[in-house]
Amino acid sequence: MTATQVEFSPAAAPLAEKLLDQANEIIARYPEGRSRSALLPLLHLVQTVEGHVSPNGVAFCAEILGINKAQVGAVATFYTMYKRRPTGEYLVSVCTNTLCNTLGGQEVYDQLSEVLGVGHDETTADGRITLEHAECLAACDYAPVVTVNYDFALDEATPEAAVGLVEKLRDGRPYTPARGARICSLKEMQIQLAGFADPREGAVGDGRAGAPTLRGVTLAQQHGIAVPDFNPDTPITKTKPSPREENKGKVATVVEKATGAVKAAAAKVEEKVEARRTAKTSEKAGEPTKPGDAKDPEVRTAEQRNPDASSPDKTGDAKVTPPAPSNPAEAAGASANEPAGDGKPAGDTARGSEEAK
């Protein structure tokens, strides 16, 4: 069943009316039978309408992919970029991880929290701004950093600069980031995260890396540091030999020798065991078989009941001669027990019945 043939529930139907065409386009990106892989961009697509992943959004994703809501919820609750409750128009993230924290990231966050009157993952009363701690924003060269809707907004941030940023956002005044794309709303950003082109002017940032990012390269050039025999024009090979083949040395050789020795020892042990088994079989060749020797009790009983197998006992009531004692224990009384029937243990035929009484 294709996505266009899904009969959506009342919970998922409103989103299906708005997003079905885009959802089908996302699913078509993946091989047949792998549509479940489209769940991540579909969750972003849901957020373009609602700004978060609501129960209705979970139902829509589950029904269009043919999976259950628990599977969708497991993914939506694992990744922090999927919001499970209404979020502000602008998501302000302050990195408070190791380097940013050392350089003042926590002070930036604390100042914003005080000015906005909200804590982590909380939204201002006017619905404009949601504030959050961020574990890492991948910009240690500009630490501490602040992003707005996942675009870099402040580099080497200070508490004062961060307050100026959020005041402009709350007032609807334009703000031009030091680098990156023009700031957009959280719903607009979800369009890009779902894998669609954003038609807004300035939606995609451009330009070369900044000075802090290139600091290491600049110092190397200033001091004449370079990798010996490095040629930047050398094409990069598409494939490379496995590390085992590329770095085959003493360790690999020792491992191979040890593995070979173990296999050889195991083969010798197996040969000896097989030789002993063959020798024992040869020694007993031609000897008469003793009564009861190597015979299963069920086989012995069947042979005694019907030696020539000409008329199988289908009822289990055939009378048979008790087996001859084969050892002192059987001669002492065990052989007097009634032989087992086809479906009952020995002695159970009359147990508990009127005959036993």
Q: What is the mean pLDDT of residues 113-119?
A: 95
Radius of gyration of the CA atoms of the chain, in A:
40
Which of 48, 43, 49 is closest to 77 using CA atoms?
43
Q: Which residues, 6+ apart, have CB-to-CB distance to 255 below 8 Å?
A: none
Q: 212 or 336: which carries more pLDDT confidence? A: 212
Condensed to tens digits (0 to 9), the pLDDT of residues 140-189 reads: 999 999 999 998 899 999 999 999 999 999 998 888 887 777 788 999 99
Beta bridge partners of 122: 131
Triad 315, 316, 319: Cα angle to 5°: 115
Which of 120, 108, 121, 205 is closest to 166 using CA atoms?
108
Q: With cut-offs at 50, 70 and 90, classify the pLDDT of residue 31.
A: very high
Condensed to tens digits (0 to 9), the pLDDT of residues 40-76 reads: 999 999 999 989 999 999 999 999 999 999 999 999 9
Number of Cβ within a 10 Å radius of residue 103: 18
| Domains of the chain, each with CATH number or no CATH | 3-78 (1.10.10), 90-185 (3.40.30.10)
